[in-house]
Amino acid sequence: MIQFFFPRRTIAVSAVAASLLAFGCVAHAQPFTVPTHRIDGTLVFDGIPPADAKLASQLRRYEEWRQATFLDWLPEGGMLIATRFGRYEQVHRIASPLGMREQLTFGGGPVIEARAPHSGAGFVFVRKTDGYPQLYYYAGAGAPRQLTHGNYEHGSPVWSHDGKRIAFYGTDRTGVNDDIYVVNISADTHPRLVVAGSTGTWRPLAWSPDDSKLLLLNRVSPQKCALYVAEVATGALTPVAIPESRITAARFAPNGVGFYVISNAQSDFEQLLYYNPITRITRRVSADVPWDVEEFAVGSGGHYLAYVVNDDGRSRLTVLDTLRNLDFKPPGLRDGRIEDIRFDDAGQRLAFSYESSRSPRDVYVYDVAQGTLQRWTHTEVGPLAPESLATAQLIHYPTWDRVDLQRRLLSAYVYMPRGRAPCPVLIALPGGRELHSQFRPEWKPFLQFVVNDLGYAVIAPNVRGSSGYGKAFRALDGGRLRDDAVRDVGALLVWIGLQPGLNAHRVAIMGHSYGGFLALASLAAYGNHLRGAIDVAGIADLVDYVGHSPAVDRARRSAEFGNVQDSYMRDFLDRISPLDNVGMIHRPVLVVQGLDAPGSRAKDSQQLLWRLRSEGNQAWYLSATDAGNDFSRPADRQAYLETAAQFLQMLAR
């Protein structure tokens, strides 16, 4: 087992580059390869060598797994789950623990949401077809009835308590704005517009106990959200007087008087609060810990309340007995991620999805009264031996600045291969729609392949600005502090150089979206200490990214990166953009980009490719005409993973 070494003394920011040189982490440039060009359906391989059949076969072993995601309880006591037996995830019904999975939906695209009513038959589900999520109602027999149509977004279905109506959001009115609709399932009528949304995104969260009102969330930016109560009959809106903050979830209390809310209005972290609109008093419900509460569930009558805390990436589930003022924690779960928590109609059993770095997602049920945890599904990891899979180990490394006179410590998850030492290293930078989402110890089969078959150690750092560590930490890379996150990668390279089990001469870096920006910027800043980079839909030009944003994203991106109309800020963003620093990149780069992406990213990735090659760099380019920024279609994703594996194998030589 590798022993990680943490220095007693660390270096100042001005000495990061000098310290890297001191460790001798200088890699030799890869030979330039004459670009080749081939087309396979919607995929274009440019400058990429012919596929390695043996490597692709090894990788496919890591893609033959399934998972099960909890969707909802059924009134009769069974549950709905999402799982995949064919090409896409579909809705299945399970009547008992480890029981047979009965498939209920078929064909089309993947099912991404499903909700069952508290009473009555059937359920509503959201299927993503041709890029546009649509709502369907499954009545229990025959083909499901489609509730929404057209090239518009729809989602977040919420059942009324009487099981007759469904609230959801849709963009039918303008094609851009999120509006709130209600459809009467029992009357078989068309959806009715209740609230016309304006700025930001609007989502229905819950019906009031008497089904006369809806609780709505208006999200203007990640840190600026507001709650409203809408009269279902008239659409009249009443704001809930909670200070402007980040709000991720809210529900009516069972007594109909107040609201449970996850908000950071009173703390650096997101807490579970109870707000009484009559007294206008807000009290904290969750424990006073320096971590975010991610989601919560309230049982019928309010006897039990459950919430999940994100503890440095690991999920911690707590169930409160509100009558006896006790709390319980389900036994037997290793470090991993817990999501989709929901009580059954009796309010005694809590179902949730759980996954870890060594196991795909499965469904568990915690019986609060009995204090027992029961597994309801058991999915497979395909032909892989579970005992051979690597565990994500949480470590903390010192970066270049101080907090209260002490070196700031950043967290990272490390996957170590067996046997080979010192081993090459892959730095995996998380991205996400809200910039760099926190890396979590989840099931990531490609990383397992990189560790077990390619022999890399994988290090996934949570650099400044990552979610999960509070408002102050998230703001550390805002505006003109943007390149401080790149310096955190430099500090990680210093830490890698101090570890005897890691080969500091063989370090690669990869990232998606904002993580792609960090990977490219790090390659420009620390190119002598990196072998190469994989950029998946990365942000190559920050000015273009902000200035040519889709209307729905423009305000959020301007608040995060800065106003590009300000010449001072524009010059700064130009100066740190990878597209303007190509002359400092002298290592191989794999650029992966969907050509159907909104904004300017597809154009910028092609500009990046041209400039890299004009500098004499080896640049592989994989594009797909039917993909956006996520490469989520099975054929596209398979091509990306096989190409990335081939690229990393080349860098490890």
pLDDT in tens, 560-569: 899 999 999 9
Give residue 2's pLDDT band: very low, low, confident or very high (50, 70, 90): low
Distance in angstroms (rounded) separating the CA atoms of residues 424 and 410: 21
CB atoms inside a 10 Å sphere around CB 77 = 12
Closest CA to 459 of 497, 499, 496, 414: 414
Is-contact 595 606, C-beta < 8 A? no
For residue 25, the model assigns a pLDDT of: 43
Amino acid at 72: D
Contact 536/597 with Cβ under 8 angstroms? no
Query: Highest mean pLDDT: which of 129-143, 424-438, 517-531, 542-556?
Result: 517-531
Across 431-435, average pLDDT = 63
CB-CB contact of 194 with 231 (8 Å): no
Q: What is the pLDDT of residue 76?
A: 87
The pLDDT, as a whole number, for residue 22 is 45
pLDDT reported for residue 27: 40
Spatial CA neighbour of 579 closest among 547, 550, 612, 548: 612
Residue 625 CA: distances (Å) to CA of 3, 39, 41: 46, 11, 9
Alpha carbon distance 317, 295 (integer Å): 10
Q: Are 133 and 157 in contact (CB under 8 A)?
A: no
Residue 10: band (very low, low, confident or very high) from pLDDT cuts 50, 70, 90: very low
Is beta strand 406-415 parallel, antiparallel or unpaired with respect to 179-184? unpaired
Contacts of residue 180, Cβ cutoff 8 Å, sequence gap at least 6: 167, 168, 169, 193, 194, 195, 197, 202, 204, 214, 216, 230
Helix 53-60, helix 634-652: angle, nearest 10: 120
The single-letter code of the amino acid at 324 is: R
pLDDT band at 26 (very low <50, low <70, confident <90, very high): very low
Confidence (pLDDT) at 29: 45
Element (H, E) at 65: none
- Return the pLDDT at 28: 43
Name residues whose C-beta falls within 8 Å of residue 130's C-beta, 6 or more positions apart in sequence.
109
Q: What is the pLDDT of residue 267?
A: 94
Give the model's confidence band at 200: pLDDT under 50 very low, under 70 low, under 90 confident, else very high. confident
Whether the pLDDT of residue 78 is over 80: the answer is yes
**pLDDT class of 96 with cuts at 50, 70, 90:** very high
At residue 632 the predicted structure's pLDDT band, cuts being 50, 70 and 90, is: confident
**pLDDT over 90 at 359, yes or no:** yes
Q: What's the rounded mean pLDDT across residues 211-236?
A: 94
Least confident of 160-164, 186-190, 263-267, 377-381: 186-190
Tell me the angle at which helices 514-525 and 484-497 cross, rounded to the nearest 10 degrees.
60
Q: 422 preceded by cis ω (within 30°)?
A: yes
Taking phi over 0 as left and psi of -120 to 50 as alpha, with beta for the rest, 648 belongs to alpha
Q: How confident is the model at residue 630, as a pLDDT?
A: 84
What is residue 7's predicted lDDT score, i.e. its pLDDT?
Answer: 52
Are 560 and 617 in contact, with CB atoms under 8 Å apart? no
Contacts (Cβ under 8 Å, ≥6 apart) of 74: 80, 93, 116, 123
- Per-residue model confidence as pLDDT tens digits over 295-352: 999 999 899 999 999 999 999 999 999 999 999 999 888 899 999 999 999 999 999 9
Q: Mean of the per-residue pLDDT values for the chain?
A: 91
> What are the residue boundaries of the structural domains of the chain, listed by start?
13-63+395-652
623-628: average pLDDT: 92
Q: 30: pLDDT confidence band, cut at 50, 70 and 90?
A: very low
Instruction: Look up residue 552 and give its two tokens.
Output: 């729905």
CATH class of 13-63+395-652: alpha beta
Q: Are the CB atoms for 223 and 471 separated by under 8 Å?
A: yes
Q: How many CB atoms lie within 10 A of CB 403?
A: 11
Whole-angstrom distance, CA of residue 169 vs CA of residue 107: 24
Q: What sign does the CA torsion over 512, 514, 516, 519 have?
A: negative
Strands 304-311 and 292-298 turn out to be antiparallel
> Where is 581: in which H helix or E strand?
none
Confidence (pTM): 0.92
- What ranges make up the beta strands (E) of 85-191? 90-94, 102-103, 111-115, 123-129, 132-138, 145-146, 154-159, 165-170, 179-184
Model confidence at 636, pLDDT cuts 50, 70, 90, reads very high
Contact 389, 422 (CB under 8 A): no
- Total count of residues recorded for the chain: 653
Burial of 210: CB neighbours in 10 Å, binned 0-12, 13-18, 19+:
exposed
Q: How far is CA 537 from CA 161, 426, 602, 622, in A?
A: 42, 18, 8, 10
